[in-house]
């Protein structure tokens, strides 16, 4: 496996749309850079729009489905080529 260098990029699939992002960033940062911040996650109780707040794994506002696993703190996961990400926008999915 090739070691990623500064300036490298990877392509990930976010909600069925390919986006190219810098290698080494978190999934949360990648999605925030391409999607409106208020649309990254819906709160499981009241369905209100949420966005990553702390970006260091404390607030749990960045939950996304990553490679089929729901409720993953996307700020703690580094993007990888071919990764499949789904924002959790419906309160039923975010439980």
Reading the block at residue 34, the tokens are 């391409």
Q: Looking at residue 47, what is its pLDDT? A: 80
pLDDT means per 10 residues in the chain (95 residues)?
72 95 95 77 79 86 94 96 91 46
Is 3 domain-assigned? Answer: no
16 found inside a domain = yes
34: in domain: yes
Residue 88's pLDDT is: 87
User: Is 79 contained in some domain?
Assistant: yes
Give me the pLDDT at residue 34, please.
85
Let me know if residue 2 belongs to a domain. Answer: no
CATH of the domain at 48: 3.10.20.740
Q: Report the residue count for the chain.
A: 95
- Structural domain includes residue 93: no
- Domain count for the chain, please give it: 1
Does some domain include residue 95?
no
Distance CA 80, CA 12 (A): 7
| Contacts by residues 43-48 (CB-CB < 8 Å, ≥ 24 positions apart) | 43/91, 43/94, 44/91, 44/94, 44/95, 45/91, 46/91, 47/90, 47/91
pLDDT at res. 10: 97
pLDDT at 24: 96
For residue 61, the model assigns a pLDDT of 85
**Host domain of residue 79:** 9-87
């Amino acid at each position: 496996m090739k070691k990623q260098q500064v300036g490298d990029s990877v392509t990930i699939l976010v909600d069925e749309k390919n986006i190219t992002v810098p290698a080494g960033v978190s999934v949360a940062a990648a999605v925030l850079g391409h999607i409106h911040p208020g649309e990254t996650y819906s709160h499981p109780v009241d369905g209100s729009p949420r966005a990553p707040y702390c970006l260091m794994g404390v607030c749990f506002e960045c939950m996304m489905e990553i490679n089929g696993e729901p409720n993953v703190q996307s700020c703690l996961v580094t993007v990888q080529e071919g990764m499949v990400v789904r924002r959790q926008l419906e309160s039923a999915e975010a439980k």
